[in-house]
Amino acid sequence: SQAPDPAAPLPAHVPPVAAFGRRGRTLRLALGLLLLATLLRPADACSCSPVHPQQAFCNADVVIRAKAVSEKEVDSGNDIYGNPIKRIQYEIKQIKMFKGPEKDIEFIYTAPSSAVCGVSLDVGGKKEYLIAGKAEGDGKMHITLCDFIVPWDTLSTTQKKSLNHRYQMGCECKITRCPMIPCYISSPDECLWMDWVTEKNINGHQAKFFACIKRSDGSCAWYRGAAPPKQEFLDIEDP
């Protein structure tokens, strides 16, 4: 019988990978291992959904204006394998509390790396921050990169004044971020946050100058300015 021609084309019914025999199986195994390694690779970044400053205020247990005086790494218990959990402890000087317990906050805790949502604050007592986070009791709180933490001097005058009363008035409202047009509200107690669509920036006009406030009929609407709103007001009113 005639020996097969190695240069002859493969029959149509033979799959390309199968034609390589052992090399094909090795290739499939390598691709499978690569896919598995990709799926098992730990996340190397902290991911947060953007929130309007009013939402951040309403979601937080504690909202303060403060300076960080010093920092150090401390043990904070053990994980399920018995390994010590490290956290960064900031000793702070509280300037004002906008929301939180009666006792002043003395220490703030956060994860040791931004990869696990840890926050880095300038120490030395010169830079002031607005800091929102979770209460831990006994003059302590915990913060992450997903909390609203910004240098105090970057806030607009409206934002600073809204911390005293305005944001709290809107905590029963829902602020819905619009990622792209079209977007709609699903209930009367919602306000559409359009900064990303209009300015490609989450720290846009609505974030800096507006609050979503409940009206007398139970619906919610954007209100501009820092003065107390009237009993009835129109959207985008500027007193």
What does residue 131 show for φ and ψ, rounded to 5 degrees?
A: -130, 120
The number of CA neighbours under 13 Å toward the Cβ of 165 is: 5
Of 64, 229, 62, residue with least CA distance to 158 = 229
Annotated binding site for Zn(2+): 46
Q: What share of the chain is helix, strand, coil (3-state, %, to 5)?
A: 25, 30, 45
Could you tell me which residues are beta bridge partners of residue 96?
65
Between vectors from CA 42 to CA 38 and to CA 44, what angle results, nearest 5°? 110
The number of CA neighbours under 13 Å toward the Cβ of 231 is: 0
Annotated binding site: 46
